[in-house]
Amino acid sequence: EVAVLRLAHRPGRDDRMTTHVGLTARALGADRVVYPDNADQSRQTVADITGRFGGPFEVELTDSPAATVRHWDGVVVHLTMYGERVQDVETEIREARADAPLLVVVGSEKVPFDVYEHADYNVAVTNQPHSEVAGLAVFLDRLFGGRELDREWEDADRRVVPKETGKRVVPTDEPATDERAE
């Protein structure tokens, strides 16, 4: 299992980023996202998207993200610009995750120091400041070696037909014929 934890949420300021952490976790192969309990709006949006575009993917709230980190029975990866370079530790993390659930932690505001201490790996996607959404995307792609891009979705009520130009979204019960001829 791969779960993503959003460590904190500032209502208003973080609304889109918190939602995007969940959407990115879902799209790029994680099994679930855990939000602080003041992020119910983001939980709802991610659940709606999962309902429409498929899963499986779970969204949960917790009243204590810190406790989720502390009590995680498995491997904890904390994404931070101050950490070890992802390209140096990705193989070890892939091996560790074969035997244990993996929690990927991303911050919003300043991350308390005990998260750095509790993490099995503090991992940097470059040692430059950027975004939790970007860091998560690159980390998950490295973790899954690109295989997440080929994922099939279950229980979707619609799917996008890839097109060179324009947009096509079809109900999933429509047969997938003639897509190449579009």
Task: Catalog residues that contact ligand SAM under the rule CB under 6 A.
Answer: 79-81, 106-108, 110-111, 124-126, 128-132, 135
Residues 133/79, Cβ–Cβ less than 8 Å: no
| 129 or 162: CB nearest ligand SAM | 129
CA distances from 112 to 37, 52, 78, 101 (A): 18, 36, 12, 23
C-alpha to C-alpha distance for 15 and 41, rounded to whole angstroms: 8
CA dist., res. 131 & res. 108, Å (int) = 9
Q: How many residues does the chain have?
A: 182
Residue with tokens 């295989």: 147
Pick 4 or 159: Cβ nearer ligand SAM: 4
CA 80 to chain centre: 15
Give the C-alpha separation, 136 to 104, whole Å. 8
Nearer to ligand SAM, 42 or 159 (CB): 42
Smaller CB distance to ligand SAM: residue 113 or 165?
113
Residue nearest to ligand SAM according to CB distances in the complex? 107
* Minimum CB–partner distance for residue 132 and ligand SAM (Å): 4
Nearer Cβ to ligand SAM, position 13 or 130? 130
Write down the least CB distance from residue 170 to ligand SAM, Å. Answer: 36
The distance of closest approach from Cβ of residue 142 to ligand SAM in the complex, given in angstroms and rounded to an integer, is: 12
In the complex, minimum distance from the CB of residue 166 to ligand SAM, in angstroms, rounded to a whole number: 34
The number of beta carbons lying within 10 Å of the beta carbon of residue 101 is 14
Provide the minimum distance between the beta carbon of 110 and ligand SAM in the complex, in angstroms, as a whole number: 5
CA distance 6 to 17: 10
Minimum CB separation from ligand SAM for residue 67, in Å? 18
- In the complex with ligand SAM, which residue's Cβ is closer, 49 or 123? 123
